[in-house]
């Protein structure tokens, strides 16, 4: 076959027994990344809302951070979709000619609405800080200060009123936006679940529980990632102030961190229990009703994908961190391990849904295996391979680093509250 004609999917699909000729793993690693990253966005936002809406004071610190982090994660929710399209230059079409019977058609609208909510909430929370920066940088010499001041001036959008009344309005607006944001965040992600759950041709995906399962696991992964990043940054700050001789400050940082982590861990556990319960309900229901597809589903779940589903996802990704978090005398190291495992578990859940859903043929008479391209030899094997996924994972951290330069989500004094 000439080199330029390569069937999409053939490079990473291994077929076994009878599979229809056109069947391949069409949705590969990027479609695993899509609900994973969207879930992190939604989860991070829900965590920040726990403070902004429900006033959980213990979560204040992590809430500021989560809010900004969810902004950094936001573009990355759309990135895997873009990388996956066969015609990426036509990516705007779902906005131009949306076909509303399709679950994907609403993505652009929901995504944009959500982005606006996050952006404006951050603006209301940090507006006072922007104004202060503009004033503080006024008389400072140097080009970089001038540039920074210009950025902050742009960020204020001309709203310089920082009277008590104005700040009160800001706070109220932030709270209202956070409250609207919760259902929108849940919708953004629940609807990612709907994209899969509504595919009637796929025996594994089709389930009305899918959106709810997705939301629960999204919150779990979002909280876990925020906690983890928060711990790493706080530890780094404590380490730095210790090195500069500020023992007292280091202790203070550690103390505050412990309190935040304890509270967040409780919420994490709650959502984790909900997510696992729903997933098990789905599994039991499929086994009990034993529809036509159950034979092949069972052979995939208990045979070919047993390792992925029951060992890696349920045991290592759910049960182990659950025990680690709930046992008394939890140390920071143990928490970090548990959080890493939770993130891994949710990733495996996405993997088992997306790849597992294509592990069997529509003929119910054969199997397909996804052999993830490791070393890319073409654009396609890069995008739909390991390095494509790693690119997607690394972008939010780079974005956060940039955003955090202007919106210091980790300085307690910065937010207008």
Partner 1 sequence: MTCSRRDFLKDAVGGTLATVMPLSAFTFLSHSEARAAVQESKVRWAFLVDTNKCVGCGLCVKACKNENEIPYDAEVTRTWVERYVVTKDGNTHIDSPMGGRDGFTSMEVDGEEIDPDNIEKAFFVPKLCNQCDNPACVQVCPVGATYQTNDGVVLVDRDWCIGCGYCIMACPYGVRFFHPVHKVADKCNFCYHRISKGMEPACVECCAFGARRIANLKDPDDPVTKIIMTERVAVLKDEYGTKPHVFYLGLDANVR
Binding-site ranges for partner 1 (CB under 8 A): 1, 5-10, 17-18, 20-24, 26-27, 81, 84-87, 90-91, 93-94, 96-99, 101-105, 107, 195, 198-202, 292, 361-365
Helix 29-52 with 210-243: angle, nearest 10 deg: 70
Cβ atoms of 223 and 18 closer than 8 Å: no
In angstroms, give the least distance from the CB of 194 to partner 1: 11
- C-beta closer to partner 1: residue 199 or 256: 199
Residue 391, both tokens:
């690119």
Tokens 């629960």 found at: 216
Q: Minimum distance between the CB of residue 364 and partner 1, rounded to whole angstroms?
A: 6
Q: Quick check: 218 and 226 in contact, CB under 8 A? A: no
Non-local (6+) Cβ contacts of 417 within 8 A are: 60, 125, 171
Tokens of 154: 């742009």
The nearer residue to partner 1, 31 or 226, going by C-beta atoms, is 31
Smallest separation, CB 369 to partner 1 (Å) = 16
Residue 360 bridge partners (DSSP): 367
Cβ-based nearer residue to partner 1, 200 or 243: 200
| CB 363, min distance to partner 1, A | 4
C-alpha 243/C-alpha 181 separation (Å) is: 40
Least separation in angstroms between CB 165 and partner 1: 24
* Of 106 and 224, CB closest to partner 1: 106
267: nearest Cα among 366, 187, 342: 342
* Residues 366, 17 contacting (CB under 8 angstroms): yes
Nearer to partner 1, 87 or 331 (CB): 87
Half-sphere CA count of 398, side-chain side, radius 13 A: 8
Choice between 7 and 290, CB closer to partner 1: 7
Cβ proximity to partner 1: between 75 and 94 the closer is: 94
Going from the C-alpha of 193 to that of each of 35, 103, 358, the distances in angstroms are 8, 10, 16
* In the complex, minimum distance from the CB of residue 110 to partner 1, in angstroms, rounded to a whole number: 12
For the bound state, the minimum distance from the C-beta of residue 21 to partner 1, rounded and expressed in Å, comes to: 4
- Torsion sign, CA atoms 315, 318, 322, 325: positive
CB of 377 to partner 1, least distance (A): 17
Whose Cβ is closer to partner 1: residue 26's or residue 406's? 26
| Closer Cβ to partner 1, 86 or 163, answer by number | 86
| Residues, the chain | 417
Cα(226)–Cα(382) distance, integer angstroms? 28
Q: Read off the tokens for 24.
A: 């391949």
- State whether the Cα torsion 99-102-105-106 is positive or negative: positive
Nearer to partner 1, 91 or 390 (CB): 91
Helix (H, G, I), strand (E, B) or coil at 16: strand
Comparison of 91 and 157: residue with beta carbon closer to partner 1: 91
Alpha helices in 137-201 (DSSP H): 143-156, 164-197
Taking CA atoms, 412 is separated from 32, 48, 70, 94, 234, in Å, by 36, 15, 18, 41, 12
Q: Smallest distance from the beta carbon of 148 to partner 1, in angstroms?
A: 40
**Minimum Å distance from CB 352 to partner 1?**
16
For CA atoms 66, 71, 74, 75, give the dihedral sign: negative
* 250/56 Cα distance (integer angstroms): 24
Q: In whole angstroms, how close is the CB of 50 to partner 1 at the nearest point?
A: 32
């Amino acid at each position: 076959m000439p080199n330029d004609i390569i069937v999409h999917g053939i490079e990473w699909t291994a077929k076994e027994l009878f599979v229809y000729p056109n069947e391949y793993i069409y949705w590969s690693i990027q479609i695993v990344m899509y609900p994973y990253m969207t879930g992190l966005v939604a989860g991070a936002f829900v965590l920040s809302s726990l403070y902004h809406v429900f006033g959980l004071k213990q979560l204040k610190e992590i809430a500021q951070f989560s809010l900004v982090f969810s902004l950094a994660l936001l573009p990355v929710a759309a990135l895997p979709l873009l990388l996956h399209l066969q015609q990426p230059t036509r990516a705007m079409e779902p906005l131009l000619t949306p076909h509303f019977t399709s679950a994907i058609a609403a993505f652009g609208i929901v995504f944009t609405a959500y982005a606006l909510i996050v952006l404006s909430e951050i603006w209301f929370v940090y507006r006072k800080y922007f104004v202060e920066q503009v004033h503080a940088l006024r008389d400072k010499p140097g080009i970089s200060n001038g540039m920074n001041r210009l950025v902050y001036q742009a960020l204020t959008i001309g709203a310089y009123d920082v009277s008590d009344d104005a700040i009160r309005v800001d706070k109220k607006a932030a709270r209202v936006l956070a409250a609207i944001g919760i259902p929108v965040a849940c919708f953004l992600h629940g609807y990612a679940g709907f994209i899969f759950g509504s595919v009637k041709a796929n025996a594994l995906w089709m389930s009305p529980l899918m959106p709810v399962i997705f939301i629960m696991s999204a919150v779990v992964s979002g909280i876990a990632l925020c906690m983890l990043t928060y711990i790493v940054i706080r530890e780094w700050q404590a380490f730095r102030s210790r090195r500069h001789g500020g023992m007292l400050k280091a202790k203070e940082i550690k103390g505050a961190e412990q309190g935040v982590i304890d509270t967040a861990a409780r919420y994490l556990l709650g959502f984790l229990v909900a997510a696992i319960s729903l997933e098990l309900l789905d599994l039991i229901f499929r086994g009990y009703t034993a529809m036509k597809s159950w034979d092949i589903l069972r052979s995939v779940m208990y045979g070919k994908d047993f390792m992925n589903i029951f060992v890696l996802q349920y045991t290592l990704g759910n049960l182990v961190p659950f025990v680690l978090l709930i046992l008394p005398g939890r140390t920071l190291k143990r928490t970090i391990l548990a959080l890493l495992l939770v993130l891994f578990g949710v990733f495996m859940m996405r993997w088992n849904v997306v790849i597992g859903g294509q592990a069997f043929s529509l003929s119910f008479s054969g199997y397909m295996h996804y052999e993830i391209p490791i070393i890319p030899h073409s654009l396609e094997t890069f995008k739909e391979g390991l390095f494509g996924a790693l690119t997607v994972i690394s972008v939010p951290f780079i974005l956060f680093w940039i955003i955090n330069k202007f919106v210091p989500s980790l300085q307690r004094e910065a937010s207008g509250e």
